[in-house]
Amino acid sequence: MEKEMALNDVVLSIRGLKKQFGNLEVLHGIDLDIIDGEQIAIIGPSGCGKSTFLRCINCMEDPSAGTIIFDGENLADMKVDINVHRQKIGMVFQQFNLFNNLTVLENITLAPITVAKKKISRFDRKGLAQIKKDAEEKAYALLRRIGLEEKANVYPSTLSGGQKQRIAIVRALAMDPKVILFDEPTSALDPEMVGEVLDLMRSLADEGMTMVIVTHEMGFAREAADRILFIDEGVIKEEGTPAEVFDNPQHPRLKDFLSKVL
Amino acid sequence: MWQEFVKQFITRKGYVNVLNGLAITVEIAILGLLIGIVIGTLIAIVRVMPKYKLLPRVLDKICGCYVELFRGTPMVVQLLIGYWVLLPALDVQVNSGVPVAVIVFGLNSGAYVSEIMRGGINSVDPGQMEAGRAVGLSYATTMMKIVVPQAVKNILPTLGNEFIVLIKETSVVSFIAVTDLYKSFKQLGDPTYNYTVPYLMLALTYLVMVLLISAGVRALETKLKKSEK
Amino acid sequence: MKKVLSLILAVVLCLGCTFAFASCGGGETFVSKVGVQKGTTSEMYANILKGVKVASYDTFALAANDMKNGNVDFVIVDKTTANALSSQISGLKVIDNIPLSSENYGIGIDPAQTALKGQIDAILENKAAEIQAIKDKYMNDDTDAFVGVTSAAKNVDNAAGQLVVATNAEFAPWEYASGAEDGGTVYYGIDMEIAKLIADELNMELVIEDMAFDNVVGSVGKQGIDIAMSGITITAERLEVINFSNPYYTESIVVVCKADDTRFDSCGTVVDLLTIICVASEEE
């Protein structure tokens, strides 16, 4: 019963995903179904391929083989308009990557406005104004949520790392994504700023946002994720609930890894 | 010497020709630079584009040839060929060499600006492009709205230099019967074959223009830096 | 690939050195160094002299000034220009009693316009008196009688109504610019006033296209240019490219030296002159 429901609600279905850089194969075939509303944490030693895997999901790195089914289309197929699908797959980077030449507000509204504009005539001035108004209202609402409303018109260079990363998350949220990919979102932060970012992610998780998180924060993974994937040597070596993975690890590599990080 | 200069410049209204020449020099340099920035940006984008597919590879080769062609030949030769060879071969006659000069300066400057711009684009953190693509913006949109504006800020001093180069290079347009600043000053010495004062004043005028441009570029830089704080 | 490139580079460098040495240590020695204006018949003349090193300048005035600086021994120029120049620049001496050669100035004409040569020749003949008067007033430096000529805006759609003249207006007393009228440059000089006369006779507007002298002859027939008037000597080479009117002036090429240079004082003939400035060519 539970499994059937789960199948119906698969957001992203990945099969046989491989990635080669030149002659070096870093992912050897990964299968994963991402269920609507679940939070998956991906852990593993440095260089194991976990970030590469995450970046393959929205084709920031083009997969060498395999399929990624999203919205009924295979994202790994070069003929698919990847831009349309990326609008529904948010991504948060380790280095935040806020647009340096735009204000905080523009950072959040650029993509929604650009996307909405494509759907109306270039000469529909009223429509354009409405789009801008809607996008800004939404951006303000999101900024209010993270308590950074007063930063709407400043440039990213004036913000702290924690503020930048929260705004980067809000930028992803502004597109109403079906899933958000987090690529080590707290690794570049000063320790005192990790908390504010994790708090925001936790509150998203509580609201049922589908999230895939590559992280070194084992505490956060255990507490906030529904499912933990342990990737090592380019394959998923072990997966399960946090309790299974952290309290009763099976694979020797996972045991070894946990003994080092916990 | 001075008396003769004053006679030619003031009494005989040589200053009218100098002002006309100045306007033409500035017009050719500004319009040339604008065309150059447009062409240069397009070429730079083509040249930094990922080259998985055939089309970008072909475009890259074409742009590469274009850049080598215009950087590999002197501006004056391009001007002479354009005005005296190419247009007559196409059976095109023009009323003035100025538009031809603007186009040639634009094409030439495009080749240089493309290299400057390529460096500028490469100096922008690749994460900016990734972030743009990740929210679903196309390569072109991300390039034009995110990467190029940041690149332009990085290369502003170099672009200012290119403008200065263009201003000074306009002196070659007298080859196609255009009277620019250089020619108009030279005319002041022609009736008496005495060029000492006209040449000194010409040098001074160029110098003042270049200093003004440098100051303008610096002001613009400061303003851009401030606007992102 | 790199090896091939470096090999080619090495060969080129070797060749370059060989030529450099050849020209430095080479057998030819120069008796004198002469300054000329680029692209003129004086330059052609100087080039056929043996044992003469020719330095080409953008203008006569530059050549003359460089001679005063000691970088060339003397300058070869057209006699009219030489006299105009020496009245403006001090310290020059024109050896104008011994012409090196003489040559005919003609009006360059677009060969595609077959009727034009006949029309212009007729005007030169019928208006001979006026033309002589123009020449005289400039030769005598009768400044008050000079009449400024302005150019109409070139309009290629009205080619039949305009006489477009190519010139290099840096060449007093033949053509030069001075001042402005109604926002446009005013041109003076023998050629400019004759051009105006011809345009009036043909009932056309005069358009003056002022360009580098190197381009003047080649420009005829291109970009709507009908004729060229820039003190142009009729030569066989030029006749291959353009038509010429009948000669309207006979000009001599003369030597200009520094005022304190006495080497030419005893010269009576061209041969005397040439003995001083170049090597006799009997070995050939």
Give me the average pLDDT of each 10-residue run along chain B (229 residues): 85 91 96 96 93 89 96 95 94 93 97 95 95 94 94 92 94 92 92 88 96 94 77
The residue among A251, A197, A209, A202 whose CA lies nearest residue A229 is A251
CA distance B38 to chain C (A): 29
Q: Where are the beta strands (DSSP E) in A3-76?
A: 10-21, 24-35, 39-43, 65-70, 73-74
CA distance B213 to chain C (A): 27
Kindly state the percentage of chain A with pLDDT values over 90.
84
Taking contacts as CB-CB distances below 8 angstroms, the residues of chain C near B179 are 185, 210
Taking contacts as CB-CB distances below 8 angstroms, the residues of chain C near B181 are none
pLDDT of residue C97: 87
A212 to each of A53, A83, B65, C219, how far by Cα in Å? 11, 19, 46, 72
Q: Do B137 and A93 touch (CB under 8 A)?
A: no
Question: Are C205 and C162 within 8 A, CB to CB?
Answer: yes
Question: Are A67 and A15 within 8 A, CB to CB?
Answer: yes
Using CA atoms, how far apart are residues A255 and C61, in angstroms rounded to an integer?
A: 92
pLDDT at A1 over 70: no
Secondary structure of residue C279 in the 3-state scheme: coil
B153 to each of B38, B49, B121, B125, B222, how far by Cα in Å? 15, 20, 10, 13, 10
pLDDT of residue B52: 80
Domain with CATH 3.40.190.10 in chain C: 2-103+252-283, 107-246
Chain A and chain B share a number of CB contacts under 8 A equal to 69
Taking contacts as CB-CB distances below 8 angstroms, the residues of chain A near B133 are 60, 83, 86
pLDDT of residue C284: 33
pLDDT of residue C214: 87
For C208-275, the DSSP string reads EEE--HHHHHHHTTSTT--EE-SSPBP-HHHHHHSEE-S--EEEEEEEEEETT--TTTT--SHHHHHH
Which of A88, A97, A114 shows the shortest C-beta gap to B130?
A: A97
Whole-model pTM: value is: 0.81
Taking contacts as CB-CB distances below 8 angstroms, the residues of chain A near B226 are none
Q: Do A86 and B134 touch (CB under 8 A)?
A: yes
Question: Are C76 and C100 within 8 A, CB to CB?
Answer: yes
Using CA atoms, how far apart are residues B92 and C223, in angstroms rounded to an integer?
A: 7
Taking contacts as CB-CB distances below 8 angstroms, the residues of chain B near A88 are 136
Residue C232 at interface with chain B, using a CB cutoff of 8 Å: no
Q: Do B95 and C84 touch (CB under 8 A)?
A: no
* CATH class for the domain made up of C107-246: alpha beta
Q: Do A111 and B136 touch (CB under 8 A)?
A: yes
* Pairing relationship of beta strands A211-214 and A179-183 according to DSSP bridges: parallel
* Domains in chain B, CATH or no CATH each: 2-228 (1.10.3720.10)
Residue B183 at interface with chain C, using a CB cutoff of 8 Å: yes
Which of B130, B136, B228 shows the shortest C-beta gap to A100?
A: B228
Q: How confident is the model at residue C31 (pLDDT cuts 50, 70, 90)?
A: confident
State chain C's maximal CA–CA distance in angstroms. 74
Q: How confident is the model at residue C7 (pLDDT cuts 50, 70, 90)?
A: low
Tokens for C96, please give them: 């104008």
Question: B8, B173, B193, B195: which to substitute to probe chain C, counting the most C Cβ within 10 Å?
Answer: B193
Question: B94, B190, B194: which to substitute to probe chain C, counting the most C Cβ within 10 Å?
Answer: B190
The residue among B121, B215, B160 whose CA lies nearest residue B30 is B160
Q: How far is CA C89 from the centre of its chain?
A: 19
- Searching chain B, which residue's CA lies closest to the CA of residue C221? B88
Q: Do C172 and B192 touch (CB under 8 A)?
A: yes
Q: Do B95 and C211 touch (CB under 8 A)?
A: no
Q: Do A155 and B229 touch (CB under 8 A)?
A: yes
* Pairing relationship of beta strands C108-109 and C243-244 according to DSSP bridges: antiparallel
Q: C100-159, pLDDT tens digit by residue?
A: 888 899 999 999 999 999 999 999 999 999 999 999 999 888 889 999 999 999 999 999
Per-residue pLDDT averaged across A165-172, rounded? 96
Q: Do A85 and B136 touch (CB under 8 A)?
A: yes
Q: Do B228 and A101 touch (CB under 8 A)?
A: yes
Q: C199-210, pLDDT tens digit by residue?
A: 999 999 999 999
Residue B154 at interface with chain C, using a CB cutoff of 8 Å: no
Residue B137 at interface with chain A, using a CB cutoff of 8 Å: yes
Using CA atoms, how far apart are residues B49 and B150, in angstroms rounded to an integer?
A: 17
The mean of the pLDDT values for chain A is 91
CA distance B143 to chain A (A): 12
* Pairing relationship of beta strands A179-183 and A89-92 according to DSSP bridges: parallel
Q: What is the ipTM of this complex?
A: 0.90
Q: Tell me the residues of chain C between 93 and 152 that have a Cβ less than 8 Å away from chain B.
A: none
Question: B123, B128, B135, B154: which to substitute to probe chain A, counting the most A Cβ within 10 Å?
Answer: B135
Contact partners for chain B, using 3 or more CB pairs closer than 8 A, are A, C
CA distance B209 to chain A (A): 30
Question: A96, A97, A158: which to substitute to probe chain B, counting the most B Cβ within 10 Å?
Answer: A97
Taking contacts as CB-CB distances below 8 angstroms, the residues of chain B near A102 are 146
Which of B84, B190, B192 shows the shortest C-beta gap to C169?
A: B190
Residue B51 at interface with chain A, using a CB cutoff of 8 Å: no
Per-residue pLDDT averaged across A201-222, rounded? 93
Kindly state the percentage of chain C with pLDDT values over 70.
88
For C13-55, the DSSP string reads HHHHHHHHHHHHH-S---SEEEEEETTSHHHHHHHHSTTEEEE
Residue B158 at interface with chain C, using a CB cutoff of 8 Å: no
Residue B133 at interface with chain A, using a CB cutoff of 8 Å: yes
Secondary structure of residue A194 in the 3-state scheme: helix
pLDDT of residue C21: 45
Is there an interface between C and A (3+ Cβ pairs < 8 A)?
Answer: no
Question: Are C69 and C92 within 8 A, CB to CB?
Answer: no
Q: How confident is the model at residue C182 (pLDDT cuts 50, 70, 90)?
A: confident
Residue B71 at interface with chain C, using a CB cutoff of 8 Å: no
Residue C87 at interface with chain B, using a CB cutoff of 8 Å: no
- Searching chain C, which residue's CA lies closest to the CA of residue B20? C183
Residue type, A116: A
Residue B88 at interface with chain C, using a CB cutoff of 8 Å: yes
Using CA atoms, how far apart are residues C80 and C189, in angstroms rounded to an integer?
A: 12
Using CA atoms, how far apart are residues C227 and C165, in angstroms rounded to an integer?
A: 5
CA angle (C163 as vertex; C157, C169 as ends), nearest 5 = 120
Q: Do A111 and B127 touch (CB under 8 A)?
A: no
Tokens for C122, please give them: 């007729």
Q: Do C178 and B191 touch (CB under 8 A)?
A: yes
pLDDT of residue C90: 86
Contact partners for chain C, using 3 or more CB pairs closer than 8 A, are B
- Searching chain B, which residue's CA lies closest to the CA of residue C171? B190
Using CA atoms, how far apart are residues B192 and C172, in angstroms rounded to an integer?
A: 8
Task: Tell me which CATH code domain C2-103+252-283 carries.
Answer: 3.40.190.10
pLDDT at C283 over 50: no
- Searching chain B, which residue's CA lies closest to the CA of residue C90? B194
Q: Do B138 and A83 touch (CB under 8 A)?
A: yes
The residue among B226, B105, B216 whose CA lies nearest residue B157 is B216
pLDDT at A172 over 80: yes
Q: What is the CA radius of gyration of chain B?
A: 21
Residue B174 at interface with chain C, using a CB cutoff of 8 Å: yes
Tokens for C238, please give them: 């030029």
Per-residue pLDDT averaged across C252-258, rounded? 92
pLDDT of residue C20: 47
State the CB neighbour count (10 A cutoff) for residue A258.
16
pLDDT of residue C282: 45
Q: A78-131, pLDDT tens digit by residue?
A: 888 999 999 999 999 999 999 999 999 999 999 999 999 888 887 888 888 999
Which of C172, C186, C219 shows the shortest C-beta gap to B84?
A: C219
CA distance C137 to chain B (A): 15
pLDDT at C25 over 60: no
